[in-house]
């Protein structure tokens, strides 16, 4: 996929699990939510795997190790090996290893996932700025991460030690709601030091590179629920993407998406891997998908017809993205979305 301006979701005459060799799947909001499998996820992934598609799980959460993530997925009924899990901890550890000598000490502000990834790259995790670290790495450490860890990072960074972050997601979903993510913790250290970290996680290239190196994918499909990490990461990596509406993105956010946040395909959930995707075609002054026609007026999007709600949303995307060009759509979409129950 080139980085030209996308003006509509694409269609596929084949099931996506047949058209692509590897699914690079986000976890939270795609496969599970609050630790529990999302409806249709287990059976859809089993069918895709049985048909020959390689499944890899790609997460910005640097707290848990690949072994722990694989065990969790297996318990949910999705048999997974640690080699099928790629984390931002692994991506940032590789980034650090390319800039400091083998055997270097690295000050860890985060959890076990970071420590395991650093050791895998021949680096030595340490806990104090007084341990003469060659780098500082910061990743999500969970709700119990002590405030003093941020001070430890600040002391080392103020001495000129290079600073790395696994990712900068400001929030993270939890069983009780939305909680501060690693990006919020990175902001604490940024305010204290005035420094800028090198970041590895989605949507940036080091994370995409890590997934390709570890999976060997030749025709990957990124599957996610977030426009600013999953879909933008696919855009940056110049690969196709499937947005599922089981996580944080709603219809209004999708319609307003700038070019780097526009997915190749849109579906309700992971059953979208098992089917073709309907074509969105120009018709008159608008776009048709299934039984719906969408047009962009001077101030609002208009929708006419009936049928599957997702077909209406796909048609609306074509009208909105075309009207927006290289920007994001400012047209009132409320009435059109209300017709679809979205």
Residues labelled as active-site residues: 26, 28
Measured distance CA(114)–CA(65) in Å, rounded: 8
With left for phi above 0 and alpha for psi between -120 and 50, is residue 87 left, alpha or beta? beta
Give the strand pairing for 281-283 and 286-289: antiparallel
Counting Cα atoms < 13 Å in the Cβ hemisphere of 179 gives: 16
Please give the DSSP secondary-structure letter assigned to residue 228.
I
Provide φ and ψ at 44, rounded to 5°: -65, -45
* Tokens describing residue 64: 């848990």
Question: For residue 181, what is the DSSP state?
Answer: -
Measured CA to CA, the distance from residue 221 to residue 219 in angstroms comes to 7
């Amino acid at each position: 996929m080139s980085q030209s301006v996308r003006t509509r979701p694409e269609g596929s005459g084949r099931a996506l699990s047949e058209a692509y060799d590897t699914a690079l799947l986000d976890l939270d909001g795609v496969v599970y939510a609050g630790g529990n499998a999302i409806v249709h996820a287990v059976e859809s992934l089993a069918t895709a795997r049985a048909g020959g598609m390689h499944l890899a799980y790609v997460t910005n959460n640097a707290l848990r190790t690949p072994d722990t993530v694989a065990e969790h997925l297996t318990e949910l009924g999705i048999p997974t090996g640690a080699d099928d899990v790629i984390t931002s901890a692994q991506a940032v550890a590789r980034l650090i290893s390319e800039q400091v000598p083998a055997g270097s000490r690295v000050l860890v502000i985060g959890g076990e996932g970071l420590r395991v990834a650093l050791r895998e790259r021949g680096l030595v995790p340490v806990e104090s700025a007084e341990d003469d670290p060659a780098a500082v790495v910061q990743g999500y450490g969970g709700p119990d991460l002590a405030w003093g860890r941020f001070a430890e990072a600040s002391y080392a960074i103020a001495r000129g030690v290079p600073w790395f972050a696994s990712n900068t997601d400001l929030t993270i979903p939890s069983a009780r709601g939305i909680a501060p993510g690693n990006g919020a913790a990175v902001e604490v250290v940024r305010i204290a030091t005035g420094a800028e970290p090198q970041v590895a996680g989605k949507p940036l290239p080091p994370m995409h590179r890590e997934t390709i190196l570890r999976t060997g994918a030749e025709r990957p499909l990124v599957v996610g629920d977030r426009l600013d990490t999953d879909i933008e990461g696919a855009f940056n990596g110049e690969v196709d993407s499937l947005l599922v509406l089981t996580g944080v993105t709603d219809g209004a956010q999708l319609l307003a998406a700038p070019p780097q946040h526009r997915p190749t395909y849109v579906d309700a959930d992971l059953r979208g891997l098992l089917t073709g995707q309907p074509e969105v075609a120009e018709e008159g002054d608008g776009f048709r998908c299934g039984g719906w026609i969408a047009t962009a007026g001077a101030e609002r999007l208009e929708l006419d017809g009936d049928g599957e709600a997702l077909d209406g949303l796909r048609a609306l995307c074509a009208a909105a993205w075309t009207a927006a060009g290289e920007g994001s759509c400012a047209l009132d979409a409320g009435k059109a979305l209300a017709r679809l129950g979205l």
